[in-house]
Amino acid sequence: MSKFYQARMSRRESIKRLSAMTAVVMVGGVPVACDTAEPEASKAIGTPPAGHWPGIELKPITGPGYGTDPIVSAPTIPWPLTLNEAQKDQVAVLSDLICPADERGPSATAVGVPDVIDEWVSAPYSGQQRDREQIVNGLQWLNDEAQLRFESDFVALTEEQRTAILDDIAYRSQYEIGQFELPARFFSRLRRLVFGAYFSSPEGIRDIGYIGNVPIAGDYPGPTDEAMEHIRQVASNLGLPPITEYVNQQ
Amino acid sequence: MASFDGFEYEVLIVGSGAGGGMAAHVLTEAGVRVLLLEAGRDYDPGTETPMFQQNHEAPLRGSSTSEKNFGYFDATVDGGWQVPGEPYSEAPDSRFMWWRARMLGGRTNHWGRLVPRFTAADFKPYSTDGVGTDWPVDYEEIAPWYDKCEALIGVCGDNPGLDDTPSSSEGVLLPPPKPRVMELLLKSACESLGISAVPMRRAILTKPKDARQACFWATPCGRGCAIGAAFQTTTSVIPWARQTGNLKIVTNAMVKEVHLDDYGKVSGVTFVNRLNREDVRVDADHVILAASACETARLLLNSKSEAFPNGLANSSGQVGRNLTDSLGAGVSGYIPALRDRPKYNEDGHTGNHLYIPWWDREGQKNNELNFSRGYHFEVGARFSSPGMGIAGAVDGYGKQAKNDIRSNFGTNIGLSLRGEMLVSDDCYCEIDKETVDQWGIPVLKFHWKWSDQELNQVAHGLKWGRKIIEAMGGVVNNPDRTAEEAIEAGGQIIHEVGTTRMGHDPSTSVCDQWGQTWDVENLFIMDGGVFVSNPHKNCTITILTLAMRNATRLAEQINLSMER
């Protein structure tokens, strides 16, 4: 498999020049307005450089999907994976920053989230291909930003340095900040994929407390006493009529 | 008697979905021999349904793609919004989506199984509000057939006695499942607003019936149901018809033309064998079209003759006209008071246990509303198997974000409006003269335009949906969305009907109340095409009921003529 993106050592310099000289950069062939302030790459945490976006254009994936009549009881994934080793490492680091292990469940990498993301961005469907463009560019943006701020690739940063960058792009309100709009949108997309893949894994299902998908003989048992007590309280707090169990009118 | 491949038969049916499947069952039970042609492949829910598979067992965690529009595990085979090699077109400024399946049982393999009855007023729209056209049948006539059909297929629900919810006879319905807590809160909130939330009728067995098992309260119905608890023709009427020995099914048979003889009667059809692309001519004494409203209209329009230059059985010019779908729009929100609520198994029958029927016929009678006809709300609000969309609302990252997702699990509510649009001259399908499909068959072109009636109704629904969610202490998503933004595309609700409507008058309708075409006496239509209007109540139970009634009459006539 050929690499679709080759990281370049001189990237930091070219990024500095790009963001200094141009008012627009190309994103997937579409010009996007950027902050034109003079970039002052600073090593001080919290002083981000001016806007830049890699604008990597990817060759569309044209391979076959699973078709309109797959054998759903024995699924297979026909498309080749496309993330390179560096990108996979970076996705792994980001996945665990987004979804770390805690007292209630494992980390994203412990349940194989990066593999799901590779499968996702490599799929030949239009939605996934849009995500691929956003993810591949976002990963490169993080490396560029890390170079500009700390002269290092993202994965080699310290925890403090990584979060300094993520804190600038991890919130929807940051869509409004010109230079962070595209990186923040990338991060939202990545977060959605990471948590989606985590909570839909067997460990994630246990973590979130979904306890369905098991056959029950006889009538549907309905809410537990605890759940009924809780909903009665909620209704009462809202000033609603009391919760009553439905009486069959037949 | 006609014969095909050594099999003799009196009736040829095109399509194995709700109408065709039911007709095959009724006819073969009555001893009438039937040849059934299905465009799609053979399909066996017993072995092919992905029961219990979780999202992580599917590519892309089961997410929707252009090849599986309702997700990887949805039952639909070789279909969805597009069928490979079988396009359709839209007129300029028209937006219409057409869901098809290419499989035995058609769309009954994945439908919602929501089966509300039409009311007396629904059958007489013109007499009720002066708009549209009355059906040539009334509720009193159809009610016993609803009973019979519900008892046969198995329907759970009850009789709350509202003016939008006609009652079934005693003993017909199976008990509905208990509501979940969100539905109980919804019911209480509705009560505070003076409206009702009551059990949704669904074609789900909550008790065992014949060889079919009762629902075991797990695994989404849209995948199909290997145990037959969720009604689909492939686990019920089709196997029953096969057991009589009076049925032969030919799959991969895409019918392209219905032939007329010199005496003005139908003499048979030609289908394309999808496996080898060869045309096959089949004779028939009686033909029932049940290919779906639009596919049947397409077939008639493509069957031209000297007698019918504008399409078979189309002397009225009504074939393809009067196309309607249900109105669709969604209101959603989340209920902060339910964060971290107690966990329990909320799968139930995986559909909504309660719904909100239309509540304001009185207001319409008093001219207080700026639209005719009603809508209902279906409800989605439960702990369901987590998928890729679970983190759509969360912000930030790390432990805080992870905890937010956990706390918000099961706090979202979606209300889906399903409303009645009016029959309109602006909405119809015709043959696209520029395009043929991969079998060389001219395709359909759809024309579509919403009127103020539809937009006013959706605006009303958005207002009420928000009121209901707010009464639950909820935060409404997109609270400023307009009706124009919220209304879904024509066809998107997959309730398209009306293209070969029945009536009293041969000059304004295609068939009579029995589905017998006015123009050709041995040609019958038994799909949703015969609908005169499209009440907001999901159409399949009425398709099944009319097919049962009308096939019963046809069986009687055939048996009588055989005795002579």
- Mean pLDDT within A163-179: 96
pLDDT at A203 over 90: yes
Asked if residue A35 has pLDDT above 60, the reply is no
| Domain limits, chain A | 81-208
- Would you list the domain boundaries of chain B? 1-43+90-134+229-325+425-450+497-564, 178-199+326-420+451-486
Best CA proximity match to B159, nearest among B170, B147, B143, B148: B170
Burial environment of residue B440 by CB neighbours within 10 A (0 to 12, 13 to 18, 19 or more): exposed
pLDDT of B517 > 60? The answer is yes
- B541, B518, B514, B519: which is closest to B530 by C-alpha? B514
pLDDT of res. A245 = 74
- Cβ contact A125–B66 (<8 Å): yes
Q: Which two tokens stand for residue A42?
A: 């600073």
Q: What percent of chain A has pLDDT over 90?
A: 76
Q: Where are the alpha helices (DSSP H) in B130-231?
A: 139-153, 181-192
Q: Note whether B80 contacts A226, CB cutoff 8 Å.
A: no
At what angle are helices A85-98 and A126-150 packed, to 10 degrees?
90
Rounded to whole angstroms, how far apart are CA atoms B408 and A238? 19
Number of CB pairs, chain A paired with chain B, less than 8 A apart = 259
| Interface residue A243 vs chain B (CB under 8 A) | yes
Taking residues B396-405, what's their average pLDDT? 98
How confident is residue A37, by pLDDT bands cut at 50, 70 and 90? very low
Question: pLDDT tens digits, residue range B341-365?
Answer: 999 999 999 999 999 999 999 999 9
- What share of residues in chain A are helix, strand, coil (percent, to 5)? 50, 5, 50
User: pLDDT at position A50, please?
Assistant: 76
User: Given a cut of 50, is residue A26 above it in pLDDT?
Assistant: no
Identify the band that residue A17 occupies on the pLDDT scale cut at 50, 70 and 90: low
Q: What is the pLDDT of residue A51?
A: 87
Round to the nearest angstrom and report the end-to-end CA distance of chain B: 15
**pLDDT tens digits, residue range B11-60?**
999 999 999 999 999 999 999 999 999 999 999 999 999 999 999 999 99
| SS3 per-residue string spanning B88-122 | CEECCCCCECCCECCECCHHHHCCCCECCCCCHHH
Q: What pLDDT score was predicted for residue B72? A: 98
Q: Is the pLDDT of residue A45 over 90?
A: no
Fold of the B178-199+326-420+451-486 domain: Cholesterol Oxidase; domain 2 (3.30.410)
Question: For chain B, what's the residue count?
Answer: 564
Two structure tokens written together for B326: 């249900």
A217: which residues sit within 8 A by CB, 6+ positions away? B216
Q: Are B166 and B148 in contact (CB under 8 A)?
A: no
Tell me the average pLDDT across A10-16. 60
Say if the Cβ atoms of A195 and B84 lie within 8 Å.
no
3-state SS, B234-254, equals: HHCHHHHHHHCCCEEEECCEE
pLDDT score recorded for residue A32: 42
Answer whether residue A46 shows pLDDT above 80: no
User: Contact, B370 vs A171, CB < 8 A?
Assistant: no
Length of chain A: 250
Q: Residue B16: which of B84, B97, B108, B85 has the closest Cα?
A: B108
Q: Burial, B324: exposed, middle or buried (Cβ in 10 Å; 0-12, 13-18, 19+)?
A: buried
pLDDT band at B145 (very low <50, low <70, confident <90, very high): very high
pLDDT for B111 beyond 60: yes
Asked whether the beta carbons of B270 and B282 are under 8 A apart, the reply is: yes
Task: Name the pLDDT band for A23 (thresholds 50, 70, 90).
Answer: very low
**Mutation test of the interface with chain A: which of B402, B403, B472, choosing the one with the most A Cβ atoms within 10 A?**
B402
Residues B245-288 have pLDDT tens digits of 999 999 999 999 999 999 999 999 999 999 999 999 999 999 99
Q: Is B73 on the interface with A (CB under 8 A)?
A: yes
Instruction: Pull the structure tokens for residue B266.
Output: 């139908």
Based on the number of CB atoms within 10 Å of its own CB, is B305 exposed (0-12), middle (13-18) or buried (19 or more)? middle
Banded model confidence at residue A250, pLDDT cuts 50, 70, 90: low
Euclidean distance between CA atoms B212 and B214, whole angstroms: 7
Cβ pair A196, B388 in contact under 8 A: yes
Q: What burial class does residue B484 get, using C-beta atoms within 10 Å of its C-beta: 0-12 exposed, 13-18 middle, 19+ buried?
A: exposed
Quick check: pTM over 0.90? yes
The pLDDT of residue A3: 38
Are A205 and B54 within 8 A, CB to CB?
A: yes
Q: Which of A2-16, B299-313, B392-406 has the lowest mean pLDDT?
A: A2-16
ipTM score above 0.85: yes
**B1-43+90-134+229-325+425-450+497-564 is classed CATH 3.30.70.270:** no
Residues 320 to 379 of B: which have CB under 8 A from any A CB? 337-338, 341-349, 354
Report yes or no: B414 and B380 within 8 Å, Cβ to Cβ. Answer: yes
pLDDT at residue B526 tops 70: yes
Taking alpha carbons only, the member of A61, A90, A196, A110 closest to residue A153 is A90
Q: How far apart are alpha carbons B511 and B296 in whole angstroms? A: 13
pLDDT of the residue at B134: 98
Task: Tell me what pLDDT residue A40 has.
Answer: 41
